[in-house]
Structure formats: C-alpha cells, structure tokens
Amino acid sequence: MGREFLEIFEQWADSYDDTVVGHDMEYLEVFSHYEQILDLVVARSHGHVVEFGVGTGNLTQKLRLKGLAVTGIEPSPSMRKISVEKLGDDALILDGDFLHYPNIENIDTIVSTYAFHHLTDDEKAIAIAGYSKLLSKSGKIVFADTMYETEEDYNCAIVKAKTEGFHSLAKDLETEYYTTIPVLKHIFEKNGFSVSFTKCNEFVWLMEGVKQ
C-alpha cells in the first residue's frame, strides 16, 4: 500500500512543472505561493535532509542551493528521471516511498511537499513512528501538504470544487487521503514530537514536528 496513485504521476511527470506555475486552472489555488511554500520548508531544514516524494526535484534543488546534503526518495521512475535531469548526476534520488526506503543514517531533517496525502491515516501513523526512531532529539519533520482543520472543512472543499466545475480536483480530494490537523497532531505527539501548523494557501499547511 502507499503506492496506489503512482500511475497518475507516471502520466503527469512531463507536465508537472507547468501545473505548479499555474497552467492548470483547477490546481491554481493548490499551487498558489508554491515557490514560497518550498522556501519555507528549506528555511526550517538543516543538516542531512531526507526528502520523500521528490517529484521533479524542485524542493531538492532549493535544499541543495542552501548547501544541505539531500537524500531523495521517489517511487515514480518518470519523476526520478526528470529530477536527475534537473539536478545533475551527483544528486542522490533513490527508489522508495514513505513506508519503504533504503537504510539511511544520521538524518537531521525529513521533508516532503504535496505528497503525504498518498498515505491513509493508518499508514501516516506507521510512517511517523518509523521516522521518530530515525531522528535524534531536536531532529525535525517538515511537511507541506493539503490538510483541513475539520472534516466539515474537508467536505466543504469537495462541494466547492464541484460547484466551480473543477471535477478533477473534486475527484482527487475524494479519492486521495487528505486528513485533518487534529489527526496529524495526535500522530506526531504520540511519537514524541511537538508540532505546529501554519496555513500557506486555501489548501496547503506547513507542518513542523520537532523531536522532544
């Protein structure tokens, strides 16, 4: 489990960078302030960074420009190919996913943008429990993704997308595993993290967990 949406990314890889700059009206708001959202993740990262769901390598590139060592994990072969073309052959982009990844040591920060919703809530809990074992005190998890303050807000977002005629977005919201801040807060705290949430646009929040 956890890789059931991969075919979408195999198809989307070639045009993904057009979507993030606003060429797809349905996803305009999802990706609004995209560059600034990635910059926020970079600003809160330090040391050896592990990035899950690298995609076309946009966050990886920014992390490397800051001088950080990045180990990227990405399950889609098409996305991996584009990211390596963008980043250069010395970039370390490995096959793996949030739940299955190579043995990596001495990790300071675990980051991800626009990807954690590919796991169910149960899988999210398994993933965070695993990362808790990999991080030392003050180690961080910094994720930006779509999430909602309440279930009601989530349902309203689906209705709004349908009303606006954004049927792909509505289907995406209905089929992938978007969750709520209380669910995530519970998972992080249960695994020994203090956690904070910052709203970035109508969909995306920045979530920062610090290992206590």
Ligand X SMILES: C[S@@+](CC[C@H](N)C(=O)[O-])C[C@H]1O[C@@H](n2cnc3c(N)ncnc32)[C@H](O)[C@@H]1O
Query: Binding residues for ligand X, per CB under 6 A?
Result: 2-3, 5-6, 9, 20, 52-55, 58-59, 74-76, 79, 97-98, 113-115, 118
The distance of closest approach from Cβ of residue 161 to ligand X in the complex, given in angstroms and rounded to an integer, is: 17
Name the residue whose CB lies closest to ligand X: 55
Which residue has 């990035």 as its token pair?
A: 51
Which residue has 């991996």 as its token pair?
A: 80
Closer CB to ligand X, residue 10 or residue 152?
10
Query: Which two structure tokens, joined as six digits, stand for 83?
Result: 């990211």
Closer CB to ligand X, residue 66 or residue 152?
66
Rounded CA-CA distance 22/31 in Å is: 7
Closer CB to ligand X, residue 152 or residue 174?
174
The distance of closest approach from Cβ of residue 91 to ligand X in the complex, given in angstroms and rounded to an integer, is: 14
The distance of closest approach from Cβ of residue 79 to ligand X in the complex, given in angstroms and rounded to an integer, is: 4
Which amino acid belongs to residue 154?
Y
Rounded CA-CA distance 57/35 in Å is: 12
Say if residues 112 and 119 touch (Cβ distance below 8 Å).
Answer: no
